[in-house]
Structure 1
C-alpha cells in the first residue's frame, strides 16, 4: 500500500542562519558515526581486549597470545572482509607488543604471528563467501516475493457486494508461497472464488498452484456456468499432472440471482456463518473427487445452491488450519474458534483466528494454511446527528436493519 504523504506547508519555526548551516553538517556526522558503528566489529574487539587484559594481569606470555586468533575468526561471522582485516591487524600488533614485553622467544612469537595471519586470511575469505551467499539469498527472496504477488495477488477489502479478508501462512520459515492457493475475482457472471490445496510441497506444488489459479482466472470470466469453470480446471490438470498428483479445492460463486453456488472437489467443507451467529459446515450433497482424479474415480462434481443473505459469512480454508496440532496432539477447533471471534469485520475475525491458531501450535505451523472469509454486509442507517432544539427528526426507514 502506498503511504500518504504530507504535502502541506512546513510550520516549524525558522532557526537562525548559523544553526541551519550547522544542522546538515551535524546530521552528516551523525550518519557517518552510525554507519561506522554498524560496520565496527565490536564483539571481536572486545574479545581481543579481554585476551590482552588477561595476559597483562597474569604476565603469562605464550599462554594467552594464541587466543588472539579468536578475534578475526569471530569477526568473520559478523563483519565483512574489511572488518576481519582490521581485527587481525589489531590482534597482530598487540601480540607483537605483548610478546616483546613478556620476553617471548623470537621463533615462538613469529609462529604466533604467522598463525594470526593465516586465521585472518581464512576468516576474510569466509566472510566474503558469507556476504555473497547473503546477497544471493536476498535476490532469491525478492524473486519469491514477486512470485507470491503474481500467484497470490492481494485481495481488496471489498469485492463486488462482499467484504473480504485473506490470511496465508507458508509452513517453511523462509518461504513466501507454498502449495495452498486462493483467488477471488469479480466477473460478468458474479463474484467467483477458489481455495485449494495441492498434494505435495516445494516447487512442484507451487507450479501446480500457479496452473490452477491461472486457469481459474481465465475460466471464471469465460464460463457462465460454475461447473464449466471446474471442468476447465480438471481438463488442464489432466494434461499436466502426474498420475499421483491432485488438488483439493472449493470453487464458489455468487451470481446476480443472489444464491451462493458451491462446488466441493474433495476439499474440507467451508463454514457458513449466519447473521444470527450460527456456524455450520457446508457438507457436499454428493462427494466429489479432487481435481485431477475425475478420470480414475468416474464421478463428476455437483453444484450446491445456498441462500446467502445480508449478514451471512462464508469461510474457506485449507487443511493446514484444521490439522494444526498443539503439544498434546489435539487439532485446532476451527468452528469453535470462528464462533468465538466472528465479527462484522472479516479482517478482524481472521486476525483473531490466525493469532489463536499460532498460539495453538506454539508459534509455527507445520503445513501451509490459507483462510478466506467473505461477508455480505448489512445496510445500515447513517449515524444519528445530535438533535438541535426544534429540529425535525425523520422517521426510521421501513425495513432498514442495523449491523451494529
Structure 2
C-alpha cells in the first residue's frame, strides 16, 4: 500500500494507480485474521481517500470505483480469513485426535523389562499428522520379554487400522502362547480375518528374550536386527531363510523359522523399520547402518537413539521420506 501510494504520487493522477491500494486487504486476508484484515481494509480506505484528495479526483467515477474495489476486496478478504481460521481450527483438532490415537496405538514402552533396558524412537514422515504405519510393542510374558517391530504396507488411516489389528493380537498372544511361533500364527490369523484376501501385508520381526536363553527371533520379511556386542562387534541377526510378511503366510507357503542368537550382559539389540535403512543421502546412497553401531554405545539408551536419529537427518540433509521406528534393547549388567 505504501509503494502504491508513492508510485501514485510520483506518476501523477493521470496514470490511475489508485485501485491498487486494494492489494493491502487482499494479502492481509491470506496471512492474517479477520480483525487484521478489517483493520488493513480501513487503512486502505484512508489511503484511497488521501490519494483522492491529493490527486483531486474525489467525486469522479474512478475514485468511486477505487473506493468500491477496496471495500469489496476487504469484505472478500475478511470472509477468506474467517474460512481459513475455521479450517486451521479443524486441522488443529484433527492433529490432536491423531496424537491421541498415536498414544493409544503405540503406548509408551517400559523403560525396564526384566533384565532388559528398553528405549524407543518413532518418527513419522507425515510430520504434521504425527502418526504412521510403523508399530512396536514390548510385553513381559511368562516365557520372557516378547517384542515386535513391524511396518505396514501403505500409508494413511488404512495402515494405522492394520497396525492396530497387529498390535492388539500381539498383546494378547504374547501372554497366552507358550512358543513364539504360536504368537506369529495368531498374528497371521488376525490379519487374515482383517484383510479378507486383500493385498495389505506387514513386515515384522518378533523377539523373545529370556535371561537364560538369549534371544529367539521370528522374521516375517523384515530388516534384520542389528546386534552390538559388549566388545563393540556389530552384526546383523539374519534369519536362516527369508519368509513372507504377515498377511501373506496363509497362501500355502511355509512360515518363518525361529532362530536363536546369543544375548549376554552388555549386549544391545537394535530393531528398526526400513525408514532407517532406506534413508538416502543427496547422492542416492542408502544409510550405512552397519557402520553406525558406535553411536549406540552411549550410556543412556534414549540419548543413543537420539544420536542415531540426528545422524540420519544429517546424512539425508532432508526431512524423512518414510516412517522410522527404532527400538533399542540392552542387557543390563548385574
Deviation at 1:306, TM superposition (A): 2.2
Q: Which has the higher contact order (CA 8 A, sep 6+)?
A: 2
- Cα pair 2:110 2:138 within 8 Å, conserved: no
- Cα pair 1:166 1:350 within 8 Å, conserved: yes
Deviation at 1:336, TM superposition (A): 0.5
The one of 101, 116, 123 aligned to 2:77:
123
The one of 369, 372, 375 aligned to 2:327:
372
Equivalence for 2:310 = 355
- Cα pair 2:221 2:243 within 8 Å, conserved: yes
The verdict on how the C-alpha distance between 1:269 and 1:106 changes in structure 2, with shifts beyond 3 A counting, is same
The one of 165, 173, 193 aligned to 2:119:
165
Equivalence for 1:90 = 43
Equivalence for 2:246 = 291
Separation (CA, whole Å) in 1 of partners of 2:15 and 2:73: 17
Give the SS at the match of 2:126.
Answer: coil
- The answer to whether the aligner puts 1:134 opposite 2:92 as a matched pair is no
Deviations 1:109-161 (A, max 9, x none): 11110111111111111111100110010011001101110111122432322
Equivalence for 1:282 = 237
Separation (CA, whole Å) in 2 of partners of 1:287 and 1:58: 77
Equivalence for 1:315 = 270
Equivalence for 1:334 = 289
After superposition, the CA RMSD in angstroms is 1.8
Greater CA drift, 142-151 or 199-208: 199-208
The verdict on how the C-alpha distance between 1:161 and 1:350 changes in structure 2, with shifts beyond 3 A counting, is same
Equivalence for 1:68 = 21
Deviation at 1:307, TM superposition (A): 2.2
Deviations 1:213-251 (A, max 9, x none): 111111112222211111111111111114422111001
The verdict on how the C-alpha distance between 1:61 and 1:144 changes in structure 2, with shifts beyond 3 A counting, is farther
Unaligned runs of 5+ in 2: none
The one of 241, 248, 255 aligned to 2:210:
255
Separation (CA, whole Å) in 2 of partners of 1:97 and 1:364: 49
For these two proteins, the number of residue pairs brought into alignment is: 332
The verdict on how the C-alpha distance between 1:234 and 1:335 changes in structure 2, with shifts beyond 3 A counting, is same
Moved over 4 A (4+): 56-59
Deviation at 1:295, TM superposition (A): 2.0
Equivalence for 2:226 = 271
Unaligned runs of 5+ in 1: 1-47, 380-404
- Cα pair 1:61 1:98 within 8 Å, conserved: no
Give the SS at the match of 1:275.
Answer: coil
Separation (CA, whole Å) in 2 of partners of 1:289 and 1:100: 80
Greater CA drift, 198-207 or 335-344: 335-344
Equivalence for 1:244 = 199
Q: TM-score, normalised by structure 1?
A: 0.78
- The answer to whether the aligner puts 1:231 opposite 2:146 as a matched pair is no
Separation (CA, whole Å) in 2 of partners of 1:235 and 1:291: 9
Greater CA drift, 244-253 or 165-174: 165-174
Give the SS at the match of 1:112.
Answer: helix
- Cα pair 2:19 2:65 within 8 Å, conserved: no
Larger Rg: 1
Give the SS at the match of 1:191.
Answer: strand
Separation (CA, whole Å) in 1 of partners of 2:275 and 2:185: 26
Give the SS at the match of 1:310.
Answer: coil
Q: TM-score, normalised by structure 2?
A: 0.93
Equivalence for 2:143 = 189
Separation (CA, whole Å) in 1 of partners of 2:294 and 2:138: 24
Deviation at 1:341, TM superposition (A): 4.6
Equivalence for 1:214 = 168
Equivalence for 1:26 = none
- Cα pair 1:189 1:256 within 8 Å, conserved: no
Give the SS at the match of 1:142.
Answer: helix
Give the SS at the match of 2:329.
Answer: strand
